[in-house]
Amino acid sequence: MKAFNEDLKSGNLKQIYLFYGEESYLRRQYLKRFKKALVNDDDEMNYHYYEGNDTSVSEFIDVAETLPFFADRRVIIWENSGLFKAGTNKNKASIDKISEYLKNVPASTMILFAESEIDKRSRMVKMLIGMGSAVEFSAQDEEVLKRWIGGILKKENKQITERAASYLIDKVGTDMENIYTELEKLICFCLNQEVITEALIDEICTPHINGQIFQLVDAVAGRRQQEALKLYYDLLALKEPPMRILFLIARQFNNLLQVKDLKGKGFDHKSIGTKVGLPGFVVGKCATQAAKFKMAGLKEALCACVEMEEAIKRGNLSDRLSVELLIVKYST
């Protein structure tokens, strides 16, 4: 992102960009900045937007080859083209065709691809990375999120402590789109309150299921059976399917197992995050939680999740009861 910000600041934008990464909110914000920098509000003749993998590559190239109409540039944005990920339904001939074309785009055409999923081993990704045109929007760490939260609230003449900002992140998750939605709710419902407190967050914000699963597993680890069961029943009351809850519990146990194993081998949180696919500060919280378990216990719990899933699919146990038995067994 830093290199792209410098491109924007200098006005020396590259002809082709690839935006990718799991943080969709940031990706969309920077897409808007790209468009604003190049397209006048009233100029729709020289701006083209495509979404999805149904767009014809030949049509895309025809548009890219067309000279701009009474303007310096023609701008094309294509989201989720499917050209950059494994298992794409674009045939090889189409990918070969556009790969070759991108090497000789007219000087008057600017192109941006925005992808939610890519395969970094693909030829097109390697080509754009080599051109310095690939921009990754990865999950942000806790410090960045807290500063961002504080900045949004400051514009609305509201304040939040660092502790309350951390509490908000724990409650609603690390996805910036979701955080922004919850901040809008807080701003609207707290017109007369200047300071956003943990009590207000509890009253107004909707808990994210991943955070609740983390708390549930933490209660299991601490042998707080009644608390763990209450969290489970709360999830059921929110219409979360038991099978989804079981899947998320299994995923959390798997994360804890991997984090504990890698930490035991001497890896730091950042390195573990890269290997496991978690933000560094989440790895820290997982490491703390994983310390409450032995390796054998985590492996056993993960196997139990698989066994419960099989029992449900065979009709030997109801889905609701199976998760309840799992929680009782490992919190006793």
Cα–Cα distances in angstroms (integers) from residue 61 to residues 56, 57, 104, in the given order: 9, 6, 11
Cα–Cα distance measured from residue 152 to residue 147, given in angstroms and rounded to the nearest whole number: 9
Cα–Cα distances in angstroms (integers) from residue 105 to residues 61, 102, 230, in the given order: 9, 5, 59
Cα–Cα distance measured from residue 168 to residue 232, given in angstroms and rounded to the nearest whole number: 21
pLDDT value at position 179? Answer: 95
pLDDT value at position 86? Answer: 63
Domain boundaries, the chain: 2-136, 142-204, 209-331
Amino acid present at 57:
V
| Chain CA centroid to CA 248, Å | 16
Assess contact for 210 and 179: CB atoms under 8 A. Answer: no
Same fold, 142-204 and 209-331: no
Least Cα distance to 158 among 180, 190, 206, 200 occurs for: 190
Least Cα distance to 75 among 52, 41, 100 occurs for: 41
pLDDT value at position 89? Answer: 55
Q: Which residues pair with 49 in a beta bridge?
A: 77
142-204: CATH topology: Helicase, Ruva Protein; domain 3 (1.10.8)
Burial of 91 (0-12, 13-18, 19+ CB in 10 A): exposed
Q: Which CATH number fits domain 209-331: 3.40.220.10, 1.20.272.10, 3.30.70.20, 2.60.40.1180?
A: 1.20.272.10
pLDDT value at position 274? Answer: 84
Least Cα distance to 319 among 240, 254, 241, 252 occurs for: 241
pLDDT in tens, the chain (332 residues): 788 989 888 888 999 999 998 899 999 999 999 999 998 877 789 999 999 888 889 999 999 999 999 888 999 999 999 888 765 555 677 788 888 899 889 999 999 999 988 888 888 888 888 888 999 998 888 899 999 999 999 999 999 999 999 999 988 988 999 999 999 999 999 988 999 999 999 999 988 888 889 899 999 988 999 999 999 999 999 889 999 999 999 999 999 999 999 999 999 988 998 888 888 888 888 999 999 999 999 999 999 999 999 999 999 989 999 999 999 999 98
Cα–Cα distance measured from residue 295 to residue 255, given in angstroms and rounded to the nearest whole number: 12
Assess contact for 47 and 154: CB atoms under 8 A. Answer: no
Pairing of strands 47-51, 74-79: parallel
Cα–Cα distance measured from residue 290 to residue 260, given in angstroms and rounded to the nearest whole number: 6
φ, ψ of residue 203 to 5 degrees: the values are: -75, -35
Least Cα distance to 273 among 129, 138, 94 occurs for: 138
Cα–Cα distance measured from residue 221 to residue 323, given in angstroms and rounded to the nearest whole number: 16
pLDDT value at position 19? Answer: 95
pLDDT value at position 196? Answer: 96
pLDDT value at position 85? Answer: 77
Residue with tokens 């729709």: 44
pLDDT value at position 84? Answer: 86
Q: Centre a 10 Å sphere on the Cβ of residue 203 and count the other Cβ atoms it contains.
A: 11
Burial of 252 (0-12, 13-18, 19+ CB in 10 A): buried
Residue 145 tokens, joined: 């999120």
Residue with tokens 């304040």: 159
The CATH superfamily holding the domain 2-136 is P-loop containing nucleotide triphosphate hydrolases (3.40.50.300)
Residue 251 tokens, joined: 């995923």
pLDDT value at position 282? Answer: 86
SS3 83: coil
Cα–Cα distance measured from residue 80 to residue 251, given in angstroms and rounded to the nearest whole number: 27
Q: State the distance between the two ends of the chain, measured CA to CA, in whole angstroms.
A: 48
DSSP state of 121: T
pLDDT value at position 177? Answer: 93
